[in-house]
Amino acid sequence: MRGMGTVVNGLAVIGGGLLGVFFKKSISETWKRDLFQLIGILTLFIGILGMIKEALEINQGQIVIQSQMMLILSLMLGFFLGEWTDIDGKLEKLGRKFQQWSKDEDEGFVTGFVSATVLICVGAMAIVGSLEDGLSGDPSTLYAKSVLDFVAVMILSSTLGIGTVFSVIPMVIYQGGITLLSGTVAPYMSPELIGDLSLVGSGLIFCIGINLLFDKKIKVANLLWALVFPILYHFIG
């Protein structure tokens, strides 16, 4: 059944988030602080590994860096366009609406919603898995992503609270939309394009790790526009 991968992924996010909220009530403030730092470190690590995987290539015994200008240009242009359209602000407003609806007064609600939304949506697995699910009815990649998202959202929600669970809504819309449109977009999704999208996405994940580990406020949601520029780059090329 096409679309089942996104359904399972959504259930995994909800399950992991609720389980994390349960643990949040039973751990001390010291544990929460240390766990929050661990989340930041792991997120940084995932982002760095993703960028290394896509940007470094061994050619005749030499390490070659590729797509670095594409990454820099994507992030720079994404920054300016993001500041203009203020996706981060819009996501925060949406998070506050969800918070009012849930009647939850946790200070970390909006941060959890925004961080989890970006984290589970920007990776290449979301794009590739949704395309595979839509074209061939193969949800295996999204099933694997579901396991990763379950763990990631569980850890995030154990410190940031129930807001992370609401990230399932934009994720389902995003992945479900790709699945529905898979027949239209698949011919344009070359391995090179998917690799560049993964590179930029890993850069955004790295920025999330910076926010979590050092308590910074990089507007990662605004940088989502950076994912548009690899598409334009390959289309023009």
Q: Give 203-235 pLDDT, tens digit per residue.
A: 888 888 888 778 777 788 888 888 888 888 877
Name the residue with higher pLDDT: 232 or 28: 232
Average pLDDT, the chain: 82
Res 174 pLDDT > 70: yes
Residue 75's pLDDT band (cuts 50, 70, 90): confident
- Burial pattern 156-178, b for ≥16 Cβ within 10 A else e, equals bbbbbbbbbbbbbebbbebbbeb
Q: What is the pLDDT of residues 111-163, one digit of tens each?
A: 888 888 888 887 777 887 888 888 778 888 899 889 888 988 888 888 888 88
Better-predicted residue by pLDDT, 3 or 174: 174
* pLDDT range class, residue 169, cuts 50, 70, 90: very high
pLDDT of 237 over the 70 cut: no
Residue 7 has pLDDT above 90, yes or no: yes
Per-residue pLDDT at 92 exceeds 90 = no
Per the structure block, which two tokens stand in for 94?
Answer: 């949406």
What's the mean pLDDT in 86-106?
79
Q: Is the pLDDT of residue 189 over 80?
A: no
Report yes or no: 142 and 175 within 8 Å, Cβ to Cβ: yes
Interval 73-99 mean pLDDT: 85
- Cα–chain-centroid distance for residue 119? 3
CB atoms within 10 A of CB 191: 8
Q: What angle do CA 130, 136, 138 make, to 5 degrees?
A: 60
Is residue 61 very low, low, confident or very high in pLDDT (cuts 50, 70, 90)? Answer: low
More confident residue, 101 or 62: 101
pLDDT at 59 over 70: no
Pick from 203, 116, 208: nearest CA to 167? 116
* Position 175 pLDDT exceeds 80: yes
Q: What is the pLDDT of residue 162?
A: 87
CA separation, residue 188 to residues 4, 194, 234 (Å):
24, 10, 9
pLDDT tens figures, 29-38: 777 677 777 7
**pLDDT at residue 5 greater than cutoff 80:** yes
